[in-house]
């Protein structure tokens, strides 16, 4: 093999050398420039830090507080109202309005920049809101923000909406007043309108007291949402759990309303009212009227139903006032319990005729019989012995023309003739003797019969026991009242009223084993001083138990139709049902157990 061939096969290897870079001296000017730039940056950083720490501290701290602080404004909630046993009558429940902002619609898992079409949201929300999807689509069309989809959403539905996690939906909380008993206490409690402005009843008269104590909350929150304990305003966690407690009993009220409503419909009357009062302290267990309304749907009813007419409307009490008149005559000593009067059936007073309701003469009768037969002539004969000036003064002392001292909203004063009219016109004291010629409210009549029942004390009728915290219940009020009549006087009148139930027109409420007193009334109805032909008001008042009176029951029915409409036929049947319920609810022991046992066996 030639040398040339070998050289091609095995080329000579070259030696590799590393390149050596010679060191050069850096110019000092360049070093100074680098040093200057670094120092300038450091000074700038220090200056910026000083600016943030010293100059912008307040602004930055304020912005940080805004990010860390959760603020909430008061919702304007109201305190609950409960009956005497703690049963809810009015309460606030949290409700929600649902607002939609289509420009931000986004589902969990979507890209942050992705905007869902309104149709997707409508289909997802429809089953939760129980609203057709097409309706939601129509609401969402045309606007990109601030669309109110629905209000009145309950807390469970609101939680379901939150669980969907849809961006662009906003739930606004607000309180809504709820009346769990419906129409049962409507005329007493009243209601709030859509703007939460009280319109009637206790909601209006006790508005300031029913507003809960609330203040704006401003809490610092940690990164995980935990409230930080520093810088908290005093009372930020204070909870207002006060409740307004009524004296009314829901069970007895319901029984009374049903009985009263049925009788008003049966007799095609305009309206009816019922009152049950504790005569020892003035507490009302029942204050009912019909027709009424549902405060949860107040807009569906005539405004004329929003008032409690037993407190606000005047009427002439008629024969139910006769026991009170006899008590005044006994108090002044112008008649004695054993006296009698001559009932001739018809009198002429000052040129005006006065008749008994049945035009019959009853002859020589005692005062128990006067009440039993409801003799107008007998009452005029009895009250003739009482000086007219003194008679008028007693009517003033009874407060006929004064507004009762009560917490009942809208209570009004009665009407009484002037002293000059009463003392110069003989017909005025004569008609007053049988309960006409003046007017009062059913509430005032119940108060005056309580005077007869409790031994002569004028108690203040009321329906509230005040505010209590939590679930505690307030005790009943203590006996009170101004002494007007002698106890022996009232006991005598009570015995006469008992005879009305035993032998007279009040027989319909007679209950085996119990002593009950009462008086019926069938009065002509007057309008602007003129008696309306055929229009009358039928009523009945009862007191029980006679041996130790505790309760007054008053039933009043306005303008029942029919020739047989009287206090005994219209009002007494309602009173009977109310009394039977009262005996059970209040666990009233029988006056005559032997009679009760005998009736049970028969």
State in Å, rounded, how far the first CA of the chain is from the last one: 154
Among 540, 152, 86, 496, which Cα is nearest to 317's? 540
What is the DSSP annotation of 80-112? -EE-TTS-EEEEEEEEEEEEE-GGG-B-TTS-T
Residues 6+ apart with CB under 8 A from 594: none
- The beta-strand segments (E) located in 559-597 are none
Q: Crossing angle, helix 487-503 and helix 442-453, to 10 degrees?
A: 110
Contact 498, 452 (CB under 8 A): no
Is the C-alpha dihedral spanning 372, 377, 383, 388 positive or negative? Answer: positive
CB 416 within 8 A of CB 424: no
User: What's the number of CA atoms in the CB half-sphere (13 Å) around residue 80?
Assistant: 20
- Record the tokens describing residue 68, joined without a space: 């860390």
Query: Which residue among the candidates 289, 319, 375, 539 is catalytic per the annotation?
Result: 319
Q: Among 284, 311, 207, 276, which Cα is nearest to 477's?
A: 284
DSSP state of 375: -
Q: What is the DSSP string of 180-232?
A: TTGGGGHHHH--B-TTS-B-SHHHHHTHHHHBPP---EEEEB-TTSPBPSTTP
User: Catalytic annotation on 375?
Assistant: no
Q: Which two structure tokens, joined as six digits, stand for 492?
A: 């005598």
Contact 227, 221 (CB under 8 A): yes
What is the CA 496 to chain-centroid distance, rounded?
39
Instruction: Provide the Cα torsion 393, 398, 400, 405; round to 10°.
Output: 140
Helix (H, G, I), strand (E, B) or coil at 537: strand
DSSP annotation string for 280-341: TT-BEEEEEEES---GGGGGGS-GGGGS-HHHH--B--GGGGHHHHHHHHHHTTSS-TT-EE
Rounded CA-CA distance 102/121 in Å is: 9
Give the helix/strand (H/E) hosting 575: helix 572-585
Distance of alpha carbon 310 from the chain centroid:
17
* Cis previous bond, 527, omega within 30: no
Catalytically annotated residues: 319
């Amino acid at each position: 093999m030639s040398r040339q061939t070998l050289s091609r096969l095995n080329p000579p290897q070259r030696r590799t050398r590393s390149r050596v870079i010679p060191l050069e001296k850096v110019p000092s000017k360049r070093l100074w420039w680098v040093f200057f730039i670094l120092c300038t940056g450091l000074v700038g950083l220090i200056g910026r830090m000083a600016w943030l720490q010293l100059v912008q501290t307040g602004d930055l701290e304020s912005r940080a507080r805004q990010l860390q602080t959760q603020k909430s404004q008061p919702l304007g909630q109201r305190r609950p109202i409960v009956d005497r046993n703690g049963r809810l009558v009015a309460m606030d429940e949290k409700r929600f309005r649902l607002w939609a902002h289509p420009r931000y619609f986004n589902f969990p898992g979507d890209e942050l920049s992705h905007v869902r079409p309104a149709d997707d949201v409508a289909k997802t929300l429809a089953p939760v809101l129980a609203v057709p999807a097409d309706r939601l689509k129509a609401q969402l069309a045309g606007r990109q923000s601030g669309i109110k989809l629905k209000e009145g959403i309950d807390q469970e539905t609101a939680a379901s909406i939150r669980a969907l996690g849809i961006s662009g939906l906003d739930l606004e909380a607000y309180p809504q007043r709820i009346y769990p008993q419906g129409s049962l206490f409507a005329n007493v409690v009243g209601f709030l309108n859509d703007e939460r402005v009280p319109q009637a009843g206790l909601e209006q008269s006790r508005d300031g007291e029913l507003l809960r104590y609330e203040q704006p909350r401003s809490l610092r929150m940690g990164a995980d949402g935990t409230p930080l304990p520093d810088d908290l305003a005093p009372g930020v966690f204070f909870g207002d759990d006060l409740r307004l407690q009524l004296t009314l009993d829901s069970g007895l009220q319901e029984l009374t309303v049903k009985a009263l409503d049925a009788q008003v419909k049966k007799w095609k009357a305009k309206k009816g009212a019922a009152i049950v009062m504790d005569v020892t302290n003035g507490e009302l267990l029942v204050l009912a009227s019909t027709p009424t309304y549902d405060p949860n749907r107040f807009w569906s009813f005539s405004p004329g139903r929003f008032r409690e007419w037993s407190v606000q409307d005047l009427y002439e009490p008629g024969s139910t006032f006769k026991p009170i008149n006899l008590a005044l005559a006994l108090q002044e000593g112008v008649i004695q319990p054993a006296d009698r009067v001559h009932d001739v059936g018809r009198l002429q007073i000052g040129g005006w005729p006065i008749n008994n309701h049945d035009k019959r003469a009853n002859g020589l009768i005692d005062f128990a019989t006067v009440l039993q037969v409801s003799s107008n002539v007998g009452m005029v004969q009895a009250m003739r012995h009482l000086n007219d000036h003194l008679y008028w003064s007693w009517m003033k002392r009874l407060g006929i023309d004064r507004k009762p001292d009560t917490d009942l909203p809208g209570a009004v004063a009665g009407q009484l003739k002037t002293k000059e009219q009463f003392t110069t016109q003989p017909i005025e004291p004569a008609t007053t003797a049988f309960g006409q010629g003046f007017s009062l409210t059913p509430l005032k009549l119940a108060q005056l019969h309580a005077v007869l029942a409790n031994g002569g004390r004028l108690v203040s009728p009321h329906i509230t026991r005040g505010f209590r915290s939590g679930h505690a219940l307030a005790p009943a009020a203590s006996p009170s009242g101004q002494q007007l009549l002698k106890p022996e006087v009232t006991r005598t009148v009570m015995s006469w009223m008992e005879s009305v139930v035993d032998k007279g027109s009040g027989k319909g409420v007679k209950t085996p084993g119990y002593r009950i007193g009462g008086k019926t009334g069938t009065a002509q109805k007057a309008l602007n001083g003129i008696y309306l032909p055929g229009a009358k008001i039928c009523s009945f008042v009862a007191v029980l138990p006679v041996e130790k009176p505790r309760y007054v029951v008053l039933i009043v029915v306005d303008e029942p139709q029919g020739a047989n409409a009287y206090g005994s036929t219209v009002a007494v049947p309602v009173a009977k049902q109310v009394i039977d319920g009262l005996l059970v609810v209040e666990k009233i022991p029988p006056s005559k157990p032997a009679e009760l046992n005998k009736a049970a066996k028969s």
